[in-house]
Structure 1
């Protein structure tokens, strides 16, 4: 980032290529709205470009980048309150039936795995926003609790609690939904 701030356009390209996929997934998973995710993703990179001349290395670039993304999400959520319901729409996989027909031996196992994955996605979507963000940054991005705390502007202990409660909430949710699905 310092190289980009000094006028090296290639340095920005390297940063962008390194972070574009994970950052975009962060927005999609947080918002469950592809168009909004794309808009905030572009806003993030616009802010990176605008802030280049004043960038200081007080934190890792990745932490700084996700802090910008986090703030954009928070600003959006505040603008569209109430934020008490997050739902996710699951689209069936293309040609799923054809895949299963070719693998009769694993049919039951695959169906169970798909059901569990769908249940888990639904449970992640139902987590409180702060827990969902901490969980996704930890699991998908591999960020430590300390980095997540910097991104979210929370204490380390609060972040650890968010991650712990997210895991517990997911475990309980999946178990409950799995039992409900198998008793119907």
Structure 2
């Protein structure tokens, strides 16, 4: 099963690279295919990172504009999605640095032992449909409270489906630092949701 999934991902990556090369050679329909395939995930990435739909739209459009400008020099040394999200990540950094002089994206976390790439499925196991909905809402709120680097790493992992290695390439930090960020985010989210759920439970 795992091998089949990896094969599917590899086939998708190769298809994206072919489309990008075709677009670089002048095939505009190839760009449209890439745009339709990745527009949803990329837009959600910006919305969740910024919390501002207008800003997210601006950064989203600028990302695709940079893809168009860079098409001629595109190389297949990295997966298209890794390349695309690295552009998005760099635009986000540029925006944050323009607004806030302190670099919120600095690598300020110690590198510790390897961690799982996902939270275990039983961490937020619902007792009912109502609890599931409440905890999902609490989780979204807790994600917004994460430090910027942890939040981005978590969203790239859980929402965009990138591996820790791919995220390390996108944000240009070490694999160990990326795994630490995922681990810290998982721990913080678990504690945050548990605390907020306790508050909800006490109000009943």
TM-score, normalising length from structure 2? 0.75
Query: What SS does the aligned partner of 1:20 have?
Result: helix
Query: What SS does the aligned partner of 1:21 have?
Result: helix
Instruction: Choose 1 or 2 for highest CA Rg.
Output: 1
Residue from 18, 34, 47 that aligns with 2:66: 47
Give the drift of 1:20: 0.6
Give the drift of 1:9: 0.9
Give the drift of 1:72: 0.7
Return 5+ residue gaps in structure 2 as ranges: 1-19, 105-126
Deviations 1:119-176 (A, max 9, x none): 1111000001111111111111111000001110111000011111111110011111
TM-score, normalising length from structure 1? 0.83
Task: Return closer, same or farther for 1:32/1:83 CA change in 2, 3 Å cut-off.
Answer: farther
Give the drift of 1:34: 0.5
Give the drift of 1:181: 2.2
- Matched positions, count: 162
Match of 1:149 in 2: 168
Deviations 1:80-139 (A, max 9, x none): 127899xxxxxxxxxxxxxxxxxxxxxx94443332122111100000111111111111
Match of 1:121 in 2: 140
Residue from 144, 164, 168 that aligns with 2:187: 168
Q: CA RMSD in A?
A: 1.9
Matches within 5 A, 1:91-110: 109-110=128-129
Q: Does 110-119 or 68-77 show the bigger shift? A: 110-119
Residue from 89, 105, 112 that aligns with 2:131: 112
Query: What SS does the aligned partner of 1:174 have?
Result: helix
Give the drift of 1:3: 1.0
Matched, 1:136 2:155: yes
Equivalent-residue separation in structure 2 for 1:50 and 1:143 (angstroms)? 25
Matched, 1:37 2:56: yes
Q: Does 74-83 or 55-64 show the bigger shift? A: 74-83
Residue from 100, 103, 111 that aligns with 1:81: 100
